Amino acid sequence: MKIAVDAMGGDYAPSVVIEGITAALYDFPDCELVVVGHLGKISYYMEKYGIENHPRIKTVHAEEVVEMSDPSTAALRGKKNSSITVCAKLLRDGEVDAIVSAGHTGAAVAATKIIVRTLPGIERPAIAALLPAQHGQFILIDAGANTDCEAKNLAQFALMGEAYAKLIFGHEKPKIGLLSVGGEDVKGNELTKEAFKILSEMSINFVGNVEGDTIFENVADVVVCDGFMGNILLKGSEGLAKAIMHWMKDIFSKNPIRMTGAMLARSAFKELKEIGDAEELGGAPLLGIKGICVIGHGSSTPKAVRNAIRVASDFVRFDINEKITRRIIETNMMINEKDKNENSSVHGNE
């Protein structure tokens, strides 16, 4: 299996990315890794970590880098030789099975969408984020690829999320919910009210609207939303978790008895911090494209990069795109069948 890694993507690239690649190289012996980046800048680190002549390592030169301050379209317009663009081309040409980048998310989405293209029946790819629930985890899709969506996009996200849930939870019929502001179908905004109707008619295990206050209570395995919404919820959760850690520190250091208590329980605080740890998760897949793309956090550590490569290899092995495509075809067939029946019943009434 071949995986290309954008060595220039991320706040501490290329150093930490190449350190992460080194770890992955030894931990995943069935993977060949293609390091994509400016050769002048990466060779020092390749040598430093002693992987420059490794038989399962290849390098591909990319002249430019999409910076965090660049627009998402930079990968396609101004910087056509950027590392993420080169990664996308390798994926399109079948040179690799998957790509991994901790760089500019918008650029990775734009590059793969336009260069690699979406699966048949999918109009927009979406980022699927794994969030912690009271017991286990749930998938939030779209977590940030599309700021403005139509209802049919949300329906496609549901099928993509369903395939991902089968991979990680092993359920045949994962519960799929729609992020909204009220339990009933009449509640929500224009987008979710329309999406509710479509999702209700699909052959999925649709559990209806899911509200913010119960989303962490295992009410659904997959929660569908537009990428603006999803990104705010995802980052808002990150922000709140940070704030709670801050308040705890403040509150526990108020007197010596509390401090003693906190010290005795320090392993518990460590364990708490590890819940939903971005480093452990590695990265979130961008689903719906003709290939595998895993997007890491900008502040990825070497361990996070290693784990993002692991996530990519899991997806390749699971052949998720075959599963998404099959469900898209089944669902379209079902909708066509329904249309036919409705049309014939209309004719019957004439």
* Residues lying near its own copies in the complex (CB under 8 A): 69, 71, 132-134, 144, 147-148, 179, 181, 184, 186, 188-190, 192, 211-217, 226-229, 231-244, 246-248, 251-252, 254, 257-258, 260-268, 271-272, 275
Tokens of 152: 């049919």
Backbone angles phi, psi at 222, to 5 degrees: -130, 130
Cβ–Cβ < 8 Å for 122, 150: no
In the complex, what is the shortest distance from the CB of residue 216 to its own copies, in angstroms, rounded to a whole number?
4
Measured from the CB atom, the residue of 122 and 234 that comes closer to its own copies is: 234
Gyration radius of the chain's alpha carbons? 22
Closest to 138 in 3D by CA, of 219, 212, 211, 200: 219
One-letter identity of residue 291: G
Measured from the CB atom, the residue of 248 and 334 that comes closer to its own copies is: 248
Measured from the CB atom, the residue of 267 and 349 that comes closer to its own copies is: 267
In the complex, what is the shortest distance from the CB of residue 133 to its own copies, in angstroms, rounded to a whole number?
7
Residues 336, 90: Cα–Cα separation, whole Å: 36
Sheet strand arrangement including 222-224: 57-61, 32-37, 2-6, 98-101, 292-296, 283-287, 126-132, 137-141, 222-224, 175-179, 205-210
Measured from the CB atom, the residue of 169 and 252 that comes closer to its own copies is: 252
Measured from the CB atom, the residue of 97 and 142 that comes closer to its own copies is: 142
Neighbours of 153 (CB within 10 A): 22
Measured from the CB atom, the residue of 292 and 295 that comes closer to its own copies is: 295
Residues 187, 184: Cα–Cα separation, whole Å: 6
In the complex, what is the shortest distance from the CB of residue 91 to its own copies, in angstroms, rounded to a whole number?
25
In the complex, what is the shortest distance from the CB of residue 16 to its own copies, in angstroms, rounded to a whole number?
20
In the complex, what is the shortest distance from the CB of residue 252 to its own copies, in angstroms, rounded to a whole number?
5
In the complex, what is the shortest distance from the CB of residue 286 to its own copies, in angstroms, rounded to a whole number?
16
Measured from the CB atom, the residue of 120 and 239 that comes closer to its own copies is: 239
In the complex, what is the shortest distance from the CB of residue 107 to its own copies, in angstroms, rounded to a whole number?
13
Residues 105, 21: Cα–Cα separation, whole Å: 20
Backbone angles phi, psi at 32, to 5 degrees: -100, 135
> Quick one: 21 exposed, middle or buried, by C-beta within 10 A (0-12, 13-18, 19+)?
buried
Cβ–Cβ < 8 Å for 57, 33: yes
In the complex, what is the shortest distance from the CB of residue 275 to its own copies, in angstroms, rounded to a whole number?
6
Measured from the CB atom, the residue of 186 and 346 that comes closer to its own copies is: 186
